[in-house]
Amino acid sequence: MTDEIDASGALEAAGLGKKYRRGWALTDAAFRLPAGRICALVGPNGSGKSTLLSLAAGLLAPTTGTLRVFGRSAADPGIRERIAFVAQDKPLYPRFSVADTLRLGRELNPSWDQRAAERVVAEADVPLSARVGSLSGGQRTCVALALALGKRADLLLLDEPMADQDPLRRHRMMGVLMAEAAERGTGVVISTHVVAELDGVCDYLLLMGGGRIRLAGEADALQSAHRLVTGPSATGGGTPDALARHTVVETRTTGRQLTALIRPDGTPDGDGWIVTEPSLEDVLLGYLRAPDAPPLFTAEARTTFTEVEA
């Protein structure tokens, strides 16, 4: 393969798997994330989100399959300067001051942008003279984000960056990230298990469960591929005939009423059925409640290569 195949996307995986001593954390992942997207990586705890991010950051080697970052192997040292990773445990030197930490970033990164990094710290109200060890968890996250943004990477991989932030700082940090994306077209992957947190922010989505990718693609396409239908439940239980030709993700029955999240094949109809378009949160919750629902990938999210070179 030739160099710089950005057309292949920011991330692209085929047959990707990772096995730890306790078992498989990720199995047979095949997906594509185009460059410049704001991607939510959603899933319950232990679903493989952190493993996937660590593989993309080149910190873990895959057990099976391939993960390409901007068209090159994630293990390629040349790709490291194009990605920035903020891990959940934010490894920083506790005895360094914030200013020293940014200085370290400057010394280690040829493309360092001091102003961008200082802007994040200022926006988060973290004093430059404070020692990292004396900061709160949320403030430390902001310093880690400052390092990531100062690096001027093309893809930011953020593992639950907002988990320990108060609402105001969360809003500000998200604003900083979106401004970076607007200015430089930087792609962002944000893992979270709080779905509502990314409402209006993400335009791309990866839903994981049990070490597998369950949904992948543009957020609005995934949303509009689904319908919420409400109608009479079938006598004796089971799926009513009116829904038989559609892909049923999840059904819930309350008395004689049945609510179903479906992927319609044609227009859903039937006597007394009410059809609405679900919110993105409705879709995600439906899949989270139904771990065995069939996966869905949009055309954008399908891998363009199949060979496995692990």
Partner 1 sequence: MVEYRIDRRSGIATYLQIVQQTKQALRLGLLEPGDRLPTAKEVVAATAINPNTVLKAYRELEREGLVEPRPGLGTFVRRSLARPGAAADSPLRAELADWTDRARAAGLDREDLTALVASVLEERFGETAAPGERGHEENG
Tell me the CA distances in angstroms from 190 to 65, 99, 106, 178, 201, one per residue in order: 23, 26, 24, 12, 10
- In order, the DSSP letters of 270-291 are -TT-EEEPPPHHHHHHHHHH-T
Do residues 45 and 194 touch, judged by C-beta distance below 8 A?
Answer: no
Which of residues 229 and 293 has its CB atom nearest to partner 1 in the complex?
229
Smallest distance from the beta carbon of 202 to partner 1, in angstroms? 7
Smallest distance from the beta carbon of 58 to partner 1, in angstroms? 27
Could you give the residue ranges of the DSSP H alpha helices within 83-136? 98-108, 114-123
Which of residues 99 and 179 has its CB atom nearest to partner 1 in the complex?
179
Smallest distance from the beta carbon of 172 to partner 1, in angstroms? 8
Q: For residue 245, give every residue at least 6 positions away whose Cβ sits within 8 Å of its Cβ, in sequence order, or none.
A: 265, 266
Do residues 52 and 208 touch, judged by C-beta distance below 8 A?
Answer: yes
> Is 185 buried (19+), middle (13-18) or exposed (0-12) by CB count in 10 A?
exposed
- Cα distance between residue 205 and residue 284, in whole Å: 10
Which of residues 104 and 285 has its CB atom nearest to partner 1 in the complex?
285
Which of residues 14 and 287 has its CB atom nearest to partner 1 in the complex?
287
Which of residues 196 and 310 has its CB atom nearest to partner 1 in the complex?
196
Smallest distance from the beta carbon of 48 to partner 1, in angstroms? 25
Smallest distance from the beta carbon of 55 to partner 1, in angstroms? 25
Any idea how long the chain is? 310
Do residues 211 and 26 touch, judged by C-beta distance below 8 A?
Answer: yes
Which of residues 203 and 300 has its CB atom nearest to partner 1 in the complex?
203
Smallest distance from the beta carbon of 162 to partner 1, in angstroms? 11
Residues linked to residue 159 through DSSP beta bridges, in sequence order: 191
Binding residues for partner 1 (CB under 8 A): 38, 171-172, 174-179, 181-183, 199-203, 228, 230, 259, 274, 276-277, 279
